[in-house]
Amino acid sequence: MIRVDGLRKTYGDFPAVVGSDFEVGDGEIFGVVGPNGAGKTTTLKMLAGLVEPTEGTATIGEYDAGDAEMRRHLGFLPEESPLYEDMTARSYLRFFADLYDVPREEATRRTEDTLDRLELEHRDRRLGDMSKGMKRKVAIARSLVNDPELLIYDEPASGLDPLTTNYVLEFTRDLAERGKTVVFSAHNLYHVESVCDRVVIMNRGEIIARGTVPEIRAEHGETSYHVFTTVPVEETDVVGADVTDAVDVAADTAVDATPDTDASAGPETYRSVVADMDAVESVRSAAEKAGGEVVDIRTREPSLEDIFLDLAGRPPETRDDGKGRPVAAQADGGVETLDGDGGDRSGHARDDGGAR
Amino acid sequence: MSRSLSDHLRVVRRIARWEVGRSAGTIDRRTAAFALVALLLAGGVASTGALAGGVALDRDIYRVGVSPESPYYDAIASSPALDARPPTVDRADVDLYVGDGYIVADDSQKSRAALAELNDAVRRYNTGAMLAEENRTAAFPVVVSLEYVQRGASIPAGATTGASAESSSGTAGESESGRTGSAGSDDGDAAGPTPDSSRSAGDGSDDGDAADRDDDSLSVPTLGGINPFGSESTGSPADISPPFPFASLVLAFAFLVPMNFVVQAYGGTMLNERINRRGELLLVAPVSPGDIVAGKTLPYLTALVGLTAVVAVAVGGGVVSVAAVLPIGLVFLGATFVGAMFARSFKELTFLTVAISVFLTSYTFVPAIFTQVTPIALISPLTLVVRDLSGAGVSLGEFLFSTGPFFLCAVVLFALGSGVYREEDMFTQRSVPLKFLDALDAHVSRPRDVALVSLLSIPFVFVAELLAIAVLFVLPVELTVPVLLLLVALVEEAAKSLHVFAAFEKGRFARTTRTALLLGALSGLGFFVGEKFTAVAQVVGLPELTLGQAALGPSGVGIGVFSAAGLLLAPLALHVVTAGISAVGAARGRRWYALSFLVAVAVHTAYNLTVVSVLG
């Protein structure tokens, strides 16, 4: 469905996306993950034909990205839902259906069906009078008026409450089950992990990991074992070449022998985090030697977030814009976008680091 | 897959329809109802005025005491400005009093203006009456005065200006105090309303047509020969010499007023697409930015044309008026579109649209004042409107000269704004100058584009130079020509180099001297080709003016200045050299560009001065 070769975008001297390559199959939900400034949105916009690549190609089916005909088969949902607030949901959707040459009856049927599925009421209410969640649903419905094969959703659950977020994620899964291909970006890695079939992790414009979540976990993550004991285990007690190495890797600094108040582990337990079963055995021996015992052993798989943090280090430094909103630090001093009717220089964060 | 024209038109129509519906939704019903009622009332008033003989701004402003039996009565009644009052009225309440064989005017500005209006009214009445005559030869006799002079002798003064001489003789009797003297009356018995009132009497001296010719349809005494009213210094704009088409000018201004409202709404809707990235979803739809811009502009253009047509009907204008105002409206919209694409906020947009309105209103209105004075007036299409309203004809050449630059400017403005109607530029906040550079850069992706942009800058250069001529032509030539030559050089060098600078700043081209020289040469060539189109100025003879020659001649048209080869090559060489100088500076950065630009302007000005002072 999608083939991306050497996609690169620079704004002046600032590289927003550096040579991306990936493919997305039909009916797949493909996640693009990364922090602010990673290049996710720029990548998605290049796929949608909104941004012209500096180098490289992106093909959608038989079309080049940006081909007007390709857009007939595309549904794009930007991070925000900038609707025309003086229109009603119905008139708004009808207008976009017109632009896509959807016959009036078909447009009405499709629109009503989508709004039913999205459980959106008050369809003749002004969009400006709707809640953020309702607006998001209208925006999603708009992305579907042309019944596209490909959906590009940029942060579809951004800024929504947990209930609506779950609903949107469920709806996205449902779309894939109906045969749609979905390219999906998110800051929230849990959302990606729970929805996407395959993922690329981007940081500073580069893809730093790719594959299914289990594949990424296997390649980049480390399984850890939490051993709960009734006595503290000194690091020096966990000796032996294999054991020592394992402890160092898993706990980073040392055995994490701290009192644990987990009720299931008992009131007087200590937790040691180690990396493999040999180290677990070493902890058990040390605990017995100290007159205690192992009361519980738990296995912990790394989350995508753990892997991401491990791969990318800390996300780019953020600052506050004075209005309680975080703004990504921008390598070039940055560009701010129009945001708000007052036209303030609001410092709305661009996902691409926005150097223009 | 390329789309057909009908596909584009269908999309444009859909977007236009949506724009109308959406815009309508932004106005609440009460406001809309109020506006509709106000519009209907205004339309009703205008229509009533039109049906009643057109709009008269000076209706009934002069009160004249006159008897219905007076031969002047019909002429007075036919004039919108004169209000006929019964002769029994208190003379202090009237501006003029027409008695039996005499006219009394107060010694005031208003009375003198009333007298001048009465003079015009009688003249119009007489002309109308004579036009109604079947025997035109009798109505408009040709009088030939022969005066034989010795061969070699000088022609006596007045021999060739008999009419004016006669006319001036007819104004004899004016006092130094401005009082209107009586040419033919010596009795002084026509008491005025006040002791120091002046008196005017019908001449009654040599013709007294009305009195002598009771059966004549020309029942009003002719005012030819000795003019009893005087024709000077009455304070009326119509008395300004050379003639000042006051009424037509005011009516022409009426065309500009609605535009200001329309462009405010238009600018708002275009900027609204940029606020909160609203326009992003249209950009990802299967439509082109051109379709979007055209669709969103069409309703406002239609409104402008509709309003212009309504105003034309109301003020008695014709197709020429509407056709002349259309390019002004397009430039208004184009400039506002560019402003909306550059502005970072509604506040900034308001500043830009007001600036645009003031500039365009001044540019179109001020030259029109000189409609009957100089061909310079034709730089404004509003001059065509004034001529249309005053019944003067407009030739095709004049129409093209006047409207052509406006049409071209509008096209280039829309192209400029459309250059940044894309995701990468639309939603970013950059200062207006930087946005301007972005817009220029958007049209320069290959070296040859540099030549094309230089060529397309010609309408603006032409308009800027015409504006400079219009502003400076009233000053002494010795003073203004050097200033004008400097301004011309500034404008032209900016037009040739700004887009080159923008392209270098955006990293479109390698910053090498060789590349800069190539781009400079292409820019100079493109500008030279475009400049040749300014020869259209000769259609109306503008270059015959000294300033016209200075502005359009030195490096450009220069007809009659150089030999054929020099005529072609010298301006080309100039433009290539100066554009090359600027381009080399632009390749090295902002400061170098500023410096090289000044050098290029200096070279250009020196060339212009040389052509004008030495060769011209």
Instruction: List, for residues A215-256, the tens digit of each pLDDT value.
Output: 887 777 777 777 888 877 776 555 432 333 333 333 333 344
Q: What does the pLDDT read at residue B524?
A: 93
Reduce the DSSP state of residue A146 to 3 states and report it: coil
Q: What does the pLDDT read at residue B189?
A: 38
Assess whether pLDDT exceeds 90 at residue B496: yes
Assess whether pLDDT exceeds 50 at residue B230: no
User: How many domains would you assign to chain A?
Assistant: 2
Q: A62 CA to chain B: closest CA distance, Å?
A: 12
Nearest to B424 among A68, A342, A356 (CB): A356
Is A98 touching B (CB cutoff 8 A)?
Answer: yes
Q: Do A184 and A227 have their domain in common?
A: no
CB–CB contact A95 B18 (8 Å) = yes
CB–CB contact B346 A342 (8 Å) = yes
Q: B326 CA to chain A: closest CA distance, Å?
A: 29
Nearest to B347 among A71, A86, A343 (CB): A343
Q: B287 CA to chain A: closest CA distance, Å?
A: 7
Range of the domain at A181: 2-219
Q: A138 CA to chain B: closest CA distance, Å?
A: 13
CB–CB contact A51 B26 (8 Å) = no
CA-to-CA separations, B177 to B180, B181, B201, B280, B409, in angstroms, rounded: 9, 10, 18, 73, 52
Main-chain phi, psi angles of B111, to 5 degrees: -65, -40
Q: Do A153 and A236 have their domain in common?
A: no
Distance, in Å, from the CA atom of B295 to the CA atom of B298, rounded to the nearest integer, reads 5
Chain B residues with CB under 8 Å of A99 CB are: 11, 14-15, 282, 285-287
How many CA atoms, within 13 angstroms, populate the side-chain half-sphere of residue A245? 5
Q: Evaluate whether A4 touches A22 at the Cβ level (below 8 Å).
A: yes
Assess whether pLDDT exceeds 50 at residue B206: no
Chain B residues with CB under 8 Å of A71 CB are: 284-286
Query: Comparing C-alpha atoms, which of B584, B578, B586 is closest to residue B528?
Result: B578
Assess whether pLDDT exceeds 90 at residue B294: yes
Q: Evaluate whether B202 touches B153 at the Cβ level (below 8 Å).
A: no
Assess whether pLDDT exceeds 90 at residue B77: no
More confident residue, B41 or B494: B494
Q: Do A155 and A16 have their domain in common?
A: yes
Q: A209 CA to chain B: closest CA distance, Å?
A: 28
Give the model confidence (pLDDT) of B427-477 as tens digits.
Answer: 887 888 888 888 888 888 888 899 999 988 887 887 787 777 777 766 776
Q: What does the pLDDT read at residue A152?
A: 93
Q: Do A237 and A163 have their domain in common?
A: no
CB–CB contact B1 A69 (8 Å) = yes
CB–CB contact A50 B348 (8 Å) = no
More confident residue, B379 or B496: B496
Assess whether pLDDT exceeds 50 at residue B392: yes
Helices in B285-369 by DSSP H: which ranges? 289-315, 319-342, 346-368
Q: What does the pLDDT read at residue A244?
A: 35
Is A54 touching B (CB cutoff 8 A)?
Answer: no
Task: State which residue of chain A sits closest to B287, comparing Cα positions.
Answer: A68
Distance, in Å, from the CA atom of A356 to the CA atom of A12, rounded to the nearest integer, reads 7
Main-chain phi, psi angles of A32, to 5 degrees: -120, 115
Is A300 touching B (CB cutoff 8 A)?
Answer: no
Highest-pLDDT range among B32-36, B423-427, B588-592: B588-592
CB–CB contact B344 A345 (8 Å) = yes
Q: B461 CA to chain A: closest CA distance, Å?
A: 30
CB–CB contact B285 A340 (8 Å) = no
Reduce the DSSP state of residue B520 to 3 states and report it: helix
More confident residue, B139 or B498: B498
Is B4 touching A (CB cutoff 8 A)?
Answer: no
pTM for the full predicted model: 0.67
Neighbours of A24 (CB within 10 A): 21
Could you tell me which residues are beta bridge partners of residue A259? A270
User: Can you read off the two tokens belonging to residue A38?
Assistant: 């990673």
Is A4 touching B (CB cutoff 8 A)?
Answer: no
Q: A87 CA to chain B: closest CA distance, Å?
A: 6
Q: A1 CA to chain B: closest CA distance, Å?
A: 18
Mean pLDDT of B270-285: 87
Highest-pLDDT range among A352-356, B81-85, B220-224: B81-85
Q: What does the pLDDT read at residue B62?
A: 86
Work out the percent of chain B whose per-residue pLDDT is above 70: 70
Cα A196–chain centre separation? 9
Distance, in Å, from the CA atom of B506 to the CA atom of B434, rounded to the nearest integer, reads 11
> Which of the residues B17, B424, B431, B435 would you substitute to probe the A interface, choosing the one with the greatest number of A C-beta atoms within 10 Å?
B424
Domain edges within chain B: 62-139, 142-155+213-244, 245-442, 473-616
For residue B14, what are the contacts with CB-CB under 8 A and spacing of at least 6? A95, A98, A99, B295
Chain B residues with CB under 8 Å of A126 CB are: 25
For residue B198, what are the contacts with CB-CB under 8 A and spacing of at least 6? B105, B106, B107, B175, B179, B180, B181, B192
Reduce the DSSP state of residue A64 to 3 states and report it: strand
Q: What is the DSSP string of A286-303?
A: HHHHTT--EEEEEEEPPP
CB–CB contact A343 B275 (8 Å) = yes
Q: Evaluate whether B185 touches B199 at the Cβ level (below 8 Å).
A: yes
Q: Evaluate whether A276 touches A225 at the Cβ level (below 8 Å).
A: yes
Q: Evaluate whether B95 touches B116 at the Cβ level (below 8 Å).
A: no
Chain B residues with CB under 8 Å of A96 CB are: 281, 285
H-helix or E-strand spanning residue A259: strand A258-260
Taken in order B609, B611, B612, B613, the sign of the CA dihedral is: positive
Query: Comparing C-alpha atoms, which of A299, A241, A292 is closest to residue A266?
Result: A292
Mean pLDDT of B73-92: 83
Q: B600 CA to chain A: closest CA distance, Å?
A: 28
Chain B residues with CB under 8 Å of A69 CB are: 1, 286
CB–CB contact A82 B278 (8 Å) = yes
Distance, in Å, from the CA atom of B545 to the CA atom of B563, rounded to the nearest integer, reads 21
Average pLDDT, chain B: 75
Distance, in Å, from the CA atom of B570 to the CA atom of A181, rounded to the nearest integer, reads 63
Does residue A138 form part of some domain? Answer: yes
* pLDDT-wise least confident of A191-195, B71-75, B180-184: B180-184
CB contacts < 8 A, A to B, total 108
Q: Do A270 and A189 have their domain in common?
A: no
Q: Do A191 and A238 have their domain in common?
A: no
Q: Do A212 and A279 have their domain in common?
A: no
Distance, in Å, from the CA atom of B189 to the CA atom of B537, rounded to the nearest integer, reads 60
Q: A13 CA to chain B: closest CA distance, Å?
A: 9
Mean pLDDT of B355-383: 77
Q: What does the pLDDT read at residue B316?
A: 78
Distance, in Å, from the CA atom of B125 to the CA atom of B122, rounded to the nearest integer, reads 5
CATH code for the domain of A158: 3.40.50.300
Chain A residues with CB under 8 Å of B507 CB are: 12-13
In terms of phi and psi (left: phi > 0; alpha: psi -120 to 50; beta: otherwise), the region of B108 is: beta
Q: What does the pLDDT read at residue A76?
A: 92
Q: A218 CA to chain B: closest CA distance, Å?
A: 38
User: Can you read off the two tokens belonging to residue B1?
Assistant: 């897959």
Helices in chain A by DSSP H: which ranges? 40-48, 68-71, 89-99, 104-117, 132-143, 162-177, 189-195, 213-220, 241-251, 277-289, 304-312
Q: Do A165 and A228 have their domain in common?
A: no
Is B13 touching A (CB cutoff 8 A)?
Answer: no
Q: Do A144 and A228 have their domain in common?
A: no
Q: A100 CA to chain B: closest CA distance, Å?
A: 7
In the predicted model, residues of chain A with pLDDT beneath 70 are: 235-268, 312-356
Does residue A339 form part of some domain? Answer: no
B373: pLDDT confidence band, cut at 50, 70 and 90?
low
Chain A residues with CB under 8 Å of B284 CB are: 48-50, 71, 74, 76
Chain A residues with CB under 8 Å of B1 CB are: 67-69
Q: Do A191 and A210 have their domain in common?
A: yes
Q: Evaluate whether B258 touches B311 at the Cβ level (below 8 Å).
A: yes
Chain A residues with CB under 8 Å of B425 CB are: 356
Neighbours of A32 (CB within 10 A): 26
Is B348 touching A (CB cutoff 8 A)?
Answer: yes
Does residue A318 form part of some domain? Answer: no
**Which residue reads 């708004």 in tokens?**
A92
Is B606 touching A (CB cutoff 8 A)?
Answer: no
Q: Do A271 and A213 have their domain in common?
A: no
CB–CB contact B345 A344 (8 Å) = yes
Q: Do A128 and A264 have their domain in common?
A: no
CB–CB contact B285 A96 (8 Å) = yes
Is B613 touching A (CB cutoff 8 A)?
Answer: no
Q: Evaluate whether A310 touches A201 at the Cβ level (below 8 Å).
A: no
CB–CB contact B3 A68 (8 Å) = yes
More confident residue, B501 or B394: B501
User: Can you read off the two tokens belonging to residue B258?
Assistant: 């609605």
Mean pLDDT of B299-304: 92
> Which of the residues A46, A84, A138 would you substitute to probe the B interface, choosing the one with the greatest number of B C-beta atoms within 10 Å?
A84
CATH code for the domain of A306: 3.10.20
Is A301 touching B (CB cutoff 8 A)?
Answer: no
Q: Evaluate whether B457 touches B519 at the Cβ level (below 8 Å).
A: no
CB–CB contact B22 A339 (8 Å) = no
Nearest to B428 among A68, A78, A335 (CB): A335
